[in-house]
Every structure is written in C-alpha cells, then in structure tokens.
Amino acid sequence: MHQQTKVFWFFSSEKNILPCALLLAAPCTALAQATVTVNPASIGAPVTDQILGMNMANWFDQTQTGLAGFLRKGGIKALRWPGGSISDTFHLATESECNGGYVNNNATFPDFVSDVVKPGKFDLAITVNYGSNAACNAGGDPSEAAAWVTYAKANDIAVSHWTVGNEVYGSWEYDLHAQKNDAATYAAAVAAPKTGFYAAMKAANKKAQVGVVVEPGWSPPWDPIVLSQATYDFVEFHYYAQNPGQESDSYLVGQAAQDFATAIVAVKSDLATAGHANTPIYVGELGSVSYNPGKQTSSITQALYAGQVLGEMMNAGVVRSTWWLGFGGCSDATQGNWSNTLYGWQNFGGYMVWSDGTPEYGCSNATPTSLGTMLPTSRAFELFSLVAKNGEHALGVTLGGQSGDVRAYAATLKGGTSLVLFNVNETASVPVTVSVTGVSSSPSVTVNSYDKAIYDKSQNNVWAGPKETKLGAQSLPLALTLAPWSMNVVRVAE
C-alpha cells in the first residue's frame, strides 16, 4: 500500500521554514493570524502537468549541449515552437522567413526535435504561418500548414496542438492578406471547406488538433466573429501583465495573477456566447511585460507572479501553457525598464528563464553566467512541478483571519491534498494556520522552499536553488510563518 501524500506550497522569505513552535518562543496560538482551510470534498478542475511549459524560438542555437536537461530539471513538460510573431513569417520547407527574419543555422525544425524535444520527451505545440505564403506576396497558405502536419506524421514527431497564426489580431503581426489583422478574414481562412486551414490540416492527419487565437475585449471585435465563424478544437490565448515603463513590483506580485484569472473567465464567456463552452484553453504565451523586458524579469518578483499564475491556471482547468521564453532573449539598461523602484540585483533582464550563457544572447555586457543557469522564474516552475500532477484535481480553499497578503490554491496529490500559499507582502511575515478538513496529523512533513534570501545571493552571481527541510511528524492544524516574498512546497503525508 502506497503512503498517501499531501503537498502544501508556501511563499515566504525565511531561510528555513519550520512550524512556529520551532521558529518562535511565543506560543503558536498567539501567532496564528491567518487561517487556510482546504476542503478535500470540494473537487474542481482536472490538473495537468502540461501547464509546465516554455516557448522556444528558432533564433537560438538548439544544438547546444544540455538544453533538454536544463528544461527537465526545471520541471518543464511542454514546449511551443518556432516562436511568437516569427511564426507568421516562417516557412518550414526553406527554414527561412519573410520580412528578413533571422533563423539560426542550428535552429532548424529537425534540430529542435532531435536535440531538444525527443531527448527531453516534451509535449510539442506548433504555430503555423497564417501571415504569409512561401513567396512572401500573399497571406498564409493552408497547404503549407498541411505539409508541416504531413511531415510531422511521416517522421514520427508527435504534435499535440497546431495553432493557426500567432497574435494575428494585432497590427504588429505580419499579415499579407488583403484585409490585415481582420477577424472575418481569419475565420474564413480557417473554416473554408476543403481548402481552409482546419480542413487541410485534418486531411493531412485526422488526429491533428487545430486551434485558433483569441483575445477577449479586443477592438475591433475579434472573439465574437472568430469563435462563431471558425472551426477549431481548442483556443490559444496570450497574456502579458504589464507594458514596458509601467512595471510595478507591488502590482505584479500582489494583483497581476488575479487579473489573469479574470481574463481566462472572459475567454470562457466568449466561448460560451459562441456556443462552444468547455472548449480547451491553451495559454500559448505568458510573461510579466509585453515587450522590452527589463529589471523585473530576472528578479524574484517575476518568479512570484509565475507561481501564482500556475495556481490560477490549475484552478481554471487550463489544458496547457507555455511561458515566454525558455532561452534567447536578454536585454540591458539601454532597452528595458531599470527603475530603482523595481527590486533586483542584475545588470541584465530578458525573457529567457534559463541563462543563454556568456555573453547572454543579445546582451554582451551582462554579468557572466553559464548556459542553463536557472534564473528565478525557473524556480517557480521547478517547485510547481511537485504539485501539477496528471490525474489530480483542484480543490476549494477558504482563507480567514489576517490573510490579506496570502494567496492560496489547492489540489489533490496521490489521494491526499496539496496547498499552494503565497505571502505577497515584501517586508512583513504572515503567521498562518493550515487545516485540511478531516485530517488531524501527518507522519511526515517536507518543505521545499525558494525565497528572497536565496535570490539575494545572486547579487554576488550565486544562483542557488530551493532548499528542502524535513520536519517529520506533525499535528494539523499546522502553524507556520510565511515570511515576505518566498515560495515553498510543503508535502504532508497522510
């Protein structure tokens, strides 16, 4: 008989997370200002490890040793390719792009599959070209997309999601159709019988899952037209919490993930209105800032945001997500926001979640770091990989007491319960009492934590990882102190 296990995830900046009786001389009861209660009977959405995903791009050398291993160490299960807006200029047959786009000679699709996808056993999603045909003189050609599906099938390359186009609703996206970035044009190109993207790609492989892009609240209206007129198996949504120059640590850590959750509700509402409720939602791009990444992206603040977003996606039943970006996206003080109001120690920022090596890609003046060094955001994924397990379900959580700085998410885990807690206060600790309805004790409690104190070592270019603390048998309710800005996974055997 296998021992059942519970997992609790806490965000705190203490170097060691221990029950309050071990941390403090004062009685635990005097410190329990916040309460968190998990109800194992309140079953929610299915949990999937496919929310642990990263984008990869064809401008980064995919043949460098160790990329797959670095991603796997961070808990990554899913990848997206060939990139963002590049997808609407890229042509597989020639491994080239319209509009003078750059493709690394070591970043061909076969390179990516053989050097990264298959060694790492990653689930793969592809964005096909809606914006341009092979001659670069008209909109995307469905037969070209179908040829990619055919190639993948013939070469035993499993692709779970095929999305038609990137952010094709936006004026920044390359689009050579007569009506550019137009919802009706896009819907018709996808849905046309026999010759449309959906029909052509299904003809190449009837098992191919073909999706469309969504953007709730867009003006002129996008979702109402696309979702009612196109044909699709899933939808893909992108979300960036801030625009450059407007970054705020307090917003990113304290509110941004909840605004993301509101956006997911809007996508679900648009689907329901179109008569397609319960259509799977894939979050193809996620990040803290929409362009010109700056200081925040290499800080613990983005890691705290990423962890909360993973919790929100778990609650919402998102079927897959890929953060922007695994490798290949450095910036420095000449490009992004380097305000002193933002917390952090680095002289580089960037979308990359693992170091690109020395020099950082596009950032030659960055402090030297070795290829694959785990930057703070990767630690959120590493820790959440202890929670996001296939076959589990989200659970209901109730907050009480002085819990204004606490965020909480819960899920089953091997028949037990997992709890995800965040303290979003930068300077103050929050004492908390954790209860699981119907559970009074645990034979074994283990805490895996990544905190501000660990991150602060990076001021000296020391990139330390999470710590594990084994607490042994504990009674529940469990009293802990959540210090400022940290992340912890607490596993409680039942």
Kindly report, residue by residue over 381-418, the tens digit of the pLDDT: 999 999 999 999 999 999 999 999 999 998 898 977 88
Q: What residues contact residue 262 under an 8 Å CB cut-off, 6+ apart?
A: none
Structure tokens at 456: 């602060």
Average pLDDT, integer, range 26-38 = 63
Burial class (CB within 10 angstroms; exposed 0-12, middle 13-18, buried 19+) of 245: exposed
pLDDT in tens, 136-188: 999 999 999 999 999 999 999 999 999 999 999 999 999 999 999 999 999 99
C-alpha distances in Å from residue 337, one per residue of 217, 243, 288, 353: 27, 10, 12, 18
3-state secondary structure of 298: helix
The partner residues of 394 in beta bridges, in order of sequence, read 411
Q: Of 247, 301, 342, which is closest to residue 451 (Cα–Cα)?
A: 301
Domain with CATH 3.20.20.80 in the chain: 49-384
Instruction: Give pLDDT tens digits for 299-323.
Output: 999 999 999 999 999 999 999 999 9
Correct CATH for 49-384 of 3.40.640.10, 3.40.50.300, 3.40.50.150, 3.20.20.80: 3.20.20.80
Q: What is the DSSP letter of 295?
A: G
Contacts of 393 (CB under 8 A, 6+ apart): 43, 44, 45, 46, 47, 411, 412
Amino acid at position 108, single letter: T
* pLDDT-wise least confident of 43-57, 220-234, 292-306, 468-482: 468-482
Packing angle between helix 300-316 and helix 376-384, nearest 10 degrees? 30
Averaged pLDDT, 234-245: 97
pTM over 0.75: yes
Q: What is the DSSP letter of 453?
A: H
Residue 444 CB coordination number (10 Å): 16
Rounded CA-CA distance 105/59 in Å is 8
DSSP per residue, 72-126: HHTT--EEEES-SGGGGTEETTTTEEGGG----TT--HHHHIIIIIHHHT-EEEE
Q: What are phi and psi of 258, to 5 degrees?
A: -70, -35
Does an H or E element contain 252, and which?
Answer: helix 249-254
Domain boundaries for CATH 2.60.40.1180 within the chain: 5-46+393-493
Homologous superfamily of domain range 5-46+393-493: Golgi alpha-mannosidase II (2.60.40.1180)
User: What is the DSSP pairing of strand 53-55 with strand 467-475?
Assistant: unpaired
Model confidence at 242: pLDDT above 70: yes
Contact between 12 and 475 under an 8 Å Cβ cutoff? The reply is no
- Amino acid at residue number 150: T
Beta bridge pairs of residue 317: none
